[in-house]
Amino acid sequence: MLRLPGLIDPHVHLREPGATHKEDFDSGTTAALVGGFTMVMVMPNTQPPLVDSPSLALAYDAAKAKARCDYGIYLGASTDNASTAAVLAPKVSGLKMYLDQTYGPLHLDGLDAIQTHFANWPFDRPLVAHAEGKSLATVLLLAAQNARPVHICHVSRKEEIILIRKAKEKGVPVTCEVTPHHLFLTEDDLPRIGAGRGEVRPPLASTADREALWANLEVIDCFATDHAPHTLAENDGQTPPPGFPGLETALGLLLTAVHQGRLTIDELVSRMYTNPQRIFGLPKQDETMIEVDPDAAWEVHSNELHTRCGWTPFEGIQLRGRVRRVTLRGELAYEDGEIHVPPGFGVNVAPIAQ
Ligand code: NCD
Ligand code: ZN
Ligand code: ZN
Ligand code: ZN
C-alpha cells in the first residue's frame, strides 16, 4: 500500500446553488473522497453565479451543511464587481475570471474590465483564469505588467503550453494546471465518447497537443480535474453543455501513467498536493492521508461512480491503481467503496470562513 497526502483539486464544479440535479456539495465531495481528494476548490459559474455576498451565502450555506471533504470557493469576476470583489477577498479562496465563452453566464468582456480586476484584486490572493489562445496572451501580459501571480486553468494546446513556458522563462509569475482528459484523450476519442458527451471546454485537442503537454510536464504546476458534471439527458439532448466529470478517474489515470513509466510518484504528488497547496496558500490538513493500492487493476464503470451525472468519458477504460482508504483530519473518511464521514464534515479553508 502506498501512502500519499490528501490530494487537492484546484478546479471543480459542484453545481450548487442552482443545478443540484447535476451535482451538489454532498455527491460532489463524496466523489472527491472516493477519488483521493481531501480538498476541492469550487468554481463560481453556478445559478446564480457567485459574484457578491448574497450569492456566496447560498454556496456557503449549502457547503457547510453538505460537504464531506474540505473546500474553498472562488468568487466570479463580473464586469461590474471589481470593487466588491476586493472587499470579499478574505472570505473566498480566489477570484475566477472567464475570458472565453464556456458553460454559464460568467464572461469578462473587454480589456478594461479585465485590467480593473487585475488592479483591484489583492496581490496575495489567488487569481485564476479561463484563458485560451489569444486570451492567454492577454492574461500573461497583464500578469507581467502588474507583477502579480496568475494561475491559468485547463491548458490544453501545444501553443498555449509553449507560451506559458516562455513566459515563465522571462520571469512572468504564472502557474498553470492541466486536466487528465487533456492528458489522456484527444479528438480521436470523440467517436467512442459520442458527439454530445464529447463537448468540453477547452475541446479535446489533437495528438500533437496532447504530446506537447506531456513533453512540457515541468511547465505544468498542477493536475486539476475540471470536474464539470452535466446529466446524460443534457449531454444526449439537442444542446449538449460542455464538461466532463473527473474526480473519480483522475488518480487512477495518473497512477496508470506511473505504472507505464510516463510519470513518477514524486511528479504526481507535487502536482496534486505540494504545488496547489503553495500556489493557493492552502492550510495543511492535520492527520490526513490517502492509501492507494498501486497495482489494483480496475475498469471504469459509470454505475459504480458517485457523481450524480451518471456517465464518464472514460467508460470501459482499464486503469491500474486505486484508492483504498482516505483519512481526513484523523477520521477514516473512506474505505473500500464506503464513505464514513457525514455531510457537514468538510470545512471551509478560506482565511475568513463563513
Ligand atoms: C465547465 C462547466 O461545465 O462548468 N465546462 C467545461 O467544459 N470545462 C466550465 C469551464 O470550466 O470552462
Ligand atoms: Zn473553464
Ligand atoms: Zn471548469
Ligand atoms: Zn467490466
Whether the per-residue pLDDT at 353 is higher than 90: the answer is no
Beta-sheet strands, E only, within 77-199:
94-98, 127-130, 150-152, 174-178
What is the per-residue pLDDT for 347? 98
Indicate whether residue 45 lines ligand 1 (CB < 6 A). Answer: yes
pTM of whole model > 0.85?
yes
Indicate whether residue 102 lines ligand 1 (CB < 6 A). Answer: yes
- pLDDT digit string, tens, across residues 171-213: 999 999 999 999 999 999 999 999 999 999 999 999 999 999 9
Mean pLDDT for all residues in the chain: 98
pLDDT band at 109 (very low <50, low <70, confident <90, very high): confident
Integer CA distances (angstroms), 128 to 39, 139, 174, 294, in order: 17, 10, 10, 32
CB 59 within 8 A of CB 16: yes
> CB 270: neighbour CB atoms within 10 A?
17
Whether the per-residue pLDDT at 322 is higher than 90: the answer is yes
What is the per-residue pLDDT for 354? 72
What is the per-residue pLDDT for 209? 99
Cis preceding linkage at 48, omega within 30: yes
Buried b (16+ CB within 10 A) or exposed e, 283-301: eebeebbbbbbeeeeeebe
Indicate whether residue 235 lines ligand 1 (CB < 6 A). Answer: no
The ligand with the least distance to the CA atom of 301 is 4
Question: Residue 12: CB partners within 8 Å, gap ≥ 6?
Answer: 28, 32, 40, 41, 42, 43, 225, 226, 227, 247
Q: Which helix (H) or strand (E) holds 258?
A: helix 250-259
Indicate whether residue 243 lines ligand 1 (CB < 6 A). Answer: yes
- pLDDT digit string, tens, across residues 133-174: 999 999 999 999 999 999 999 999 999 999 999 999 999 999
Whether the per-residue pLDDT at 100 is higher than 90: the answer is yes
- 133/177 Cα distance (integer angstroms): 15
- pLDDT digit string, tens, across residues 149-158: 999 999 999 9
CB 44 within 8 A of CB 67: no
Report how far ligand 1's centroid is from the alpha carbon of 237 (Å): 17
The ligand with the least distance to the CA atom of 40 is 3
